[in-house]
């Protein structure tokens, strides 16, 4: 039995996107586990929620967890349908339509996420629901009672235990502290403004590690010299930071001067990192943190090279990609270019995306013989070659032997007797030339030796020996000419190297001293931004990357800001995804944590609802660190 899993997704403009995946099975698994045939990523769906079985002319839907499935507002653990019926099964926020495909024996399972709006409460409903008129005393008596209780609880009780605790150090320390723990009162915690953040949990019982003096705010020196954040730095000079700020109104200037007077200086660590907020974190994420400085910055910092950047959905310029200008294996020359200028990247490779993704093209025809071996679908898709690392931020490097060699052969000679195909070594041009010469020279020597054996005897005399040496020289010269012909064939049009690499032709037409342009492929075009592909796994690659119409490897297939604005807007938006500067950028310029690595993206996990807790791929992290260092040195 063949199932067709039809995934239906609707874009923000209402356009319907349909992708079919044929599965040759008699039963399908449905659930939140990633190894299920029908993957439904939602917490309302169990890991292995249900199973769809095809038996004869009927289809069974069986719940395989403690959560039932729903059919026509009826919950149950088992439903049976006929092939003639169109069953509509609801699992969590998803609807599965099951029916038989017209003109074939395949069963279609169409999956679509359906969102249900929660009815909004009316003002009169809220007033009735939250009214306390019938349950509490009047406002005046309640206010006096709570005031007295607050004063007694926050002043007298802590003072009492403060002094009794000091006496207990000498008299009865064990018994007194046991009583305090039983009552749940600790005198040094009553005036705390809130629970410590997760990052500072280890300091919860050691207040004076940050508060050096009583009734004095935490100073920057305490944070930067405590051994915790001594390697942390601002991303600009402090003087420049204050100069770049947007000018304040007279009232705002008065508040700033007052703060300086009472010891709460502006532009200190605690201005942006507010502790005692519990698990909400200590990082200030408001857009004004960045926008107040970077908006019209050139009017306040005349010598800055930075461009003006406003709020994301208003005055943010288009993205700038870091592209390779001159490829080099160790230190490629790069520059940052706005996507408005349609930049190109000189990677040293030739690769047309459109030919590989063309429907009905030569590549699609070749896939018919490779589908069973390599697991390809009806056509080549992005995921067949671009595999995300386990961190979900970057992609694993493309390897010729693994991704290209299945179609693009490096074979150059076939043994007529055994059918064995000898292949070139993928690497330096010198290795290719040396391998070709070694092979044809050794072949000529073997053939020469075999031709001299006639009945096991050789003709004696100097003339015969000289004639034999001459034949050996002729055989080696012939092998050298054959090697040169093969080398020219490989490095010119139609050859194994020419189709993918930029070939540097020899200055002498008779020479075979070919070379290949260095290959410099960007791990990421935007190393100064944070982006996590796992949080966008409900989208197709071509929704953002226009690979289907790209005919050159130099095309920079990065989406512009308009593409992101289809879903993301500023932090105060209602109908879009609220986005602030720290969703994509870091404030502190830390040398020991490169951009686009799980160590950095994990700090913003709360901003990505679908991020997976996978372990980072070490090779991909090393590549990202090397690339970040390269770009930082060339900017």
Distance CA 118, CA 116 (A): 6
Residue 313 falls inside a structural domain: no
Residue 30 falls inside a structural domain: yes
What pLDDT score does 606 carry? 32
Whether residue 510 is found in the same domain as residue 546 = no
Whether residue 530 is found in the same domain as residue 630 = yes
Whether residue 527 is found in the same domain as residue 626 = yes
Distance of CA 527 to the CA centre of its chain: 12
Whether residue 534 is found in the same domain as residue 602 = yes
Contacts 24+ apart (CB under 8 A), 354-358: 354/547, 354/548, 354/549, 354/550, 354/551, 355/551, 356/380, 357/381, 357/547, 357/548, 358/548
> In sequence order, what are the beta bridge partners of 503?
516
- Using CA atoms of 337, 341, 347, 351 in order, give the dihedral in degrees to the nearest 10: 150
What pLDDT score does 121 carry? 56
* C-alpha closest to that of 323 among 561, 553, 534: 553
Rg (CA), the chain: 35
Least confident range of 20-24, 328-332, 454-458, 491-495:
454-458
Number of DSSP helices (H) and strands (E) in the chain, helices first: 17, 20
Whether residue 525 is found in the same domain as residue 608 = yes
Find out whether 478 and 443 touch, Cβ atoms under 8 Å: no
**pLDDT at residue 26 greater than cutoff 70:** yes
Which residues, including other chains, have CB under 8 Å from residue 37's CB and lie 6 or more apart? 3, 5, 23, 25, 28, 29, 30
Whether residue 571 is found in the same domain as residue 593 = yes
What pLDDT score does 47 carry? 92
Whether residue 512 is found in the same domain as residue 530 = no
Mean pLDDT of 387-399: 81
Which residues, including other chains, have CB under 8 Å from residue 13's CB and lie 6 or more apart? 566
Structural domain boundaries enclosing 145: 140-216
Distance CA 331, CA 626 (A): 10
Find out whether 58 and 80 touch, Cβ atoms under 8 Å: yes
* C-alpha closest to that of 340 among 118, 113, 562: 562
pLDDT band at 170 (very low <50, low <70, confident <90, very high): very low
Least confident range of 314-318, 592-596, 610-614:
610-614
**pLDDT at residue 272 greater than cutoff 50:** yes
Whether residue 200 is found in the same domain as residue 339 = no
What pLDDT score does 175 carry? 47
Mean pLDDT of 279-283: 75
Percent of the residues in the chain that have a pLDDT greater than 90, as a whole number? 15
Please state the domain count of the chain.
Answer: 5
What pLDDT score does 296 carry? 85
Q: What is the pLDDT of residues 144-157, one digit of tens each?
A: 998 888 888 777 77
Find out whether 344 and 337 touch, Cβ atoms under 8 Å: no
How many Cα atoms sit within 13 Å of 119 on the Cβ side?
A: 5
**pLDDT at residue 378 greater than cutoff 80:** no
Coil, strand, or helix at residue 411?
strand
Distance CA 80, CA 261 (A): 77
Find out whether 577 and 568 touch, Cβ atoms under 8 Å: yes
Residue 233 falls inside a structural domain: no
Residue 562 falls inside a structural domain: yes
**pLDDT at residue 446 greater than cutoff 90:** no
**Strand 503-504 with 58-63, pairing:** unpaired
**pLDDT at residue 369 greater than cutoff 90:** no
Whether residue 625 is found in the same domain as residue 536 = yes
What pLDDT score does 464 carry? 53
**pLDDT at residue 608 greater than cutoff 50:** no
Least confident range of 356-360, 386-390, 460-464:
460-464
- Structural domain ending residue among the three candidates 473, 493, 516: 516
Residue 125 falls inside a structural domain: no
Distance CA 225, CA 616 (A): 31
**pLDDT at residue 592 greater than cutoff 50:** no
What pLDDT score does 244 carry? 83
What pLDDT score does 466 carry? 59
How many Cα atoms sit within 13 Å of 208 on the Cβ side?
A: 4
Whether residue 275 is found in the same domain as residue 208 = no
DSSP string, 350-374: ---HHHHH-TTSHHHHHGGGTHHHH
Residue 524 dihedral angles phi and psi, to the nearest 5°: -155, 140
Burial 233-250 (b: 16+ CB within 10 A, else e): eeebeeebeeebeeeeee
Mean pLDDT of 26-31: 92
Using CB atoms within 10 Å of the CB of residue 311, give its burial: 0 to 12 exposed, 13 to 18 middle, 19+ buried: buried
- Structural domain ending residue among the three candidates 184, 216, 248: 216
Distance of CA 365 to the CA centre of its chain: 32
Give the chain's mean pLDDT. 77
CB atoms within 10 A of CB 526: 18
Whether residue 107 is found in the same domain as residue 6 = yes
Mean pLDDT of 568-590: 85
CATH code, domain with 94 = 2.60.200.20
Mean pLDDT of 226-250: 78
**pLDDT at residue 596 greater than cutoff 50:** no
Distance CA 546, CA 216 (A): 57
Highest mean predicted confidence (pLDDT) among 160-164, 246-250, 629-633? 246-250
**pLDDT at residue 226 greater than cutoff 60:** yes
Find out whether 345 and 556 touch, Cβ atoms under 8 Å: yes
Least confident range of 278-292, 467-481, 538-552:
467-481
Mean pLDDT of 589-605: 40
Q: What is the pLDDT of residues 492-531, one digit of tens each?
A: 888 888 888 888 999 888 888 888 888 888 888 988 888 8
**pLDDT at residue 534 greater than cutoff 60:** yes
Percent of the residues in the chain that have a pLDDT greater than 70, as a whole number? 75
Find out whether 333 and 522 touch, Cβ atoms under 8 Å: no
**pLDDT at residue 605 greater than cutoff 50:** no
Coil, strand, or helix at residue 18?
strand
* C-alpha closest to that of 46 among 25, 61, 63, 59: 63
> In sequence order, what are the beta bridge partners of 301?
none
**pLDDT at residue 443 greater than cutoff 60:** yes
Whether residue 377 is found in the same domain as residue 424 = no
Q: What is this structure's pTM?
A: 0.57
- Structural domain ending residue among the three candidates 72, 97, 113: 113
**pLDDT at residue 399 greater than cutoff 80:** yes
What pLDDT score does 177 carry? 47
Residue 124 falls inside a structural domain: no
Residue 342 falls inside a structural domain: yes
Distance CA 441, CA 145 (A): 104
pLDDT band at 186 (very low <50, low <70, confident <90, very high): low
Find out whether 20 and 126 touch, Cβ atoms under 8 Å: no
Residue 205 falls inside a structural domain: yes
Find out whether 13 and 534 touch, Cβ atoms under 8 Å: no
What pLDDT score does 142 carry? 86
What pLDDT score does 452 carry? 54
């Amino acid at each position: 039995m063949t199932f067709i899993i039809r995934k239906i997704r609707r874009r923000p403009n209402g356009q319907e996107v349909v992708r079919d995946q044929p599965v040759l099975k008699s039963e399908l698994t449905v659930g939140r586990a990633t190894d299920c045939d029908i993957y439904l990523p939602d917490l309302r769906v169990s890991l292995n929620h249900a199973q769809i079985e095809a038996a004869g002319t009927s289809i069974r839907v069986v719940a395989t967890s403690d959560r039932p499935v729903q059919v026509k507002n009826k919950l149950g653990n088992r439903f049976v349908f006929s092939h003639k019926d169109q069953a509509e099964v609801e699992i969590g926020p998803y609807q599965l339509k099951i029916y038989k495909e017209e003109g074939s024996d395949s069963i279609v399972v169409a999956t679509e996420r359906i969102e249900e709006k929660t009815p909004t409460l009316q003002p009169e409903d809220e007033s009735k629901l939250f009214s306390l008129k019938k349950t509490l005393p009047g406002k005046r008596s309640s206010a006096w009672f709570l005031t007295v209780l607050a004063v007694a609880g926050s002043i007298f009780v802590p003072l009492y235990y403060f002094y009794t605790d000091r006496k207990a150090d000498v008299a009865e320390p064990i018994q007194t502290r046991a009583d305090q723990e039983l009552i749940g009162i600790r005198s040094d915690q009553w005036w705390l403004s809130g629970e410590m953040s997760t990052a500072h949990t280890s300091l919860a019982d050691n207040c004076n590690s940050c508060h050096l003096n009583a009734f004095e705010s935490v100073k920057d020196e305490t944070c930067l010299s405590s051994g915790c954040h001594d390697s942390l730095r601002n991303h600009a000079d402090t003087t420049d930071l204050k100069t770049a700020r947007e000018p304040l109104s007279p009232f705002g200037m008065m508040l700033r001067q007052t703060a300086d007077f009472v010891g709460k200086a502006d532009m200190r660590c605690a201005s942006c990192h507010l502790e005692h907020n519990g698990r909400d974190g200590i990082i200030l994420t408001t857009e004004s943190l960045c926008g107040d400085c970077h908006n019209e910055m050139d009017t306040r910092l005349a010598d800055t090279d930075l461009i003006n950047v406003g709020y994301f959905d208003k005055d943010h310029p288009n993205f700038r990609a870091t592209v390779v200008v001159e490829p080099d294996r160790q230190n490629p020359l790069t520059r940052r270019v706005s996507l408005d200028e349609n930049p190109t990247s000189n990677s040293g490779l030739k690769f047309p995306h459109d030919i590989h993704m063309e429907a009905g093209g030569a590549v699609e025809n070749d896939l018919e013989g490779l589908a069973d071996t390599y697991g390809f679908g009806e056509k080549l898709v992005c995921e067949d070659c671009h595999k995300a690392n386990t961190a979900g931020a970057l992609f694993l490097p493309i390897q010729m032997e693994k991704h290209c060699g299945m179609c693009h052969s490096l074979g150059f000679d076939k043994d007529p007797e055994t059918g064995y195909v000898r292949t070139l070594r993928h690497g330096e041009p010198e290795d290719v030339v040396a391998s070709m010469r070694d092979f044809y020279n050794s072949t000529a020597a073997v053939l020469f030796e075999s031709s001299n054996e006639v009945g096991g005897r050789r003709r004696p005399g100097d003339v015969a020996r000289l004639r034999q040496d001459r034949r050996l020289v002729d055989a080696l010269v012939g092998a050298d000419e054959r090697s040169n012909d093969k080398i020219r064939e490989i490095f010119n049009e139609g050859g194994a190297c020419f189709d993918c690499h930029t070939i540097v032709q020899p200055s002498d037409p008779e020479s075979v001293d070919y070379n290949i342009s260095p290959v410099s492929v960007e791990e990421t075009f935007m190393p100064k931004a944070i982006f996590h592909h796992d949080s966008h796994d409900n989208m197709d690659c071509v929704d953002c990357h226009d690979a289907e119409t790209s005919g050159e490897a130099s095309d920079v297939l990065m989406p512009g800001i308009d593409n992101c604005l289809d879903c993301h807007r500023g932090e105060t938006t209602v109908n879009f995804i609220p986005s602030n500067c720290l969703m994509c950028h870091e404030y502190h310029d830390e040398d020991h944590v490169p951009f686009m690595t799980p160590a950095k993206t994990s700090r913003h996990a709360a901003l990505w609802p679908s991020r997976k807790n996978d372990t980072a791929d070490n090779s991909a992290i090393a590549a990202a660190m090397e690339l970040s260092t390269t770009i930082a040195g060339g900017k």
